[in-house]
Amino acid sequence: MSTPYILVDFENVQPDLSALAHTPYKVKIFFGARQQEGRVPLKLLLSTKALGDAWEPVLVSRSGRNAVDMHIAYWIGRLLKAEPTARIHVISGDTDFDPLIESLRKEDFDVHRTKALADLVGKPAPRAAAARAGRVRAAAAPKAPPAKPPPVKAPAADNMAGVLKHLRSMKDKPTTRTKLVKWIDTHFRQHGGAQSPKVVERTLDDLVRLRFVTQDGTKVGYNLTS
């Protein structure tokens, strides 16, 4: 199973890292030389405390243009050399990373950059505004016949509660990832309607990410007592 890493350019952005508590992410926070001279923000202390042993600081000893960026680039290469299937997310508003990341992705490495931590662990953006705009455009067409909008399938997160409830009630749970995928697909068909294979896979990935399901190769286990 691939290890997910988050490399935080703390010189560029200062996200609330407490959102990563109880997730499988391994976090490395890169501090520039000037940042090490100041006081540590209380928000950072609280958020790193919530991460426990899942984070470590990387101290850049010398200041200078792109000093932190060069260290992050070095660590991307170091992590991929040790674990080519690792998933790496750089949290930074600096677009100088993008050419490197684009080149790595062309070689099938799972590397990404985003400025907002919420892009990884936040909830999907609300769809209400887009839906209202669509209704306004439809109403503005004078001779257009009324059209029934296609059904919108719920994202995997919205189905999580039902899946967990059903799993907790089962005595003989699926023992492999393949069997669990088929079970989740059947569950959706029997409780509210079939979902796409992408939604089914994303639901299972969320169960693993939130540690309700553990995976060791093709085998799966469960931690459903909470």
Between CA 207 and CA 214, with CA 211 as vertex, the angle to 5 degrees is 85
Is residue 190 a contact partner of residue 182, using CB atoms and an 8 Å limit? no
* Ranges of the chain with pLDDT below 50: 123-133, 135-136, 150-157
In CATH terms, the fold of domain 156-222 is Arc Repressor Mutant, subunit A (1.10.10)
pLDDT value of position 101: 92
What's the whole-model pTM score? Answer: 0.48
Among candidates 78, 49, 52, 58, which has minimal Cα distance to 11? 58
pLDDT at 168: 85
What is the structure's pLDDT at 206? 82
Topology classification of domain 4-121: Rossmann fold (3.40.50)
Distance CA 76, CA 89 (A): 9
Give span(s): CATH 3.40.50.1010, the chain.
4-121
CA distance 116 to 15: 7
CATH 1.10.10.10 domain span(s) along the chain: 156-222
pLDDT for position 99: 92
Per-residue pLDDT at 137? 54
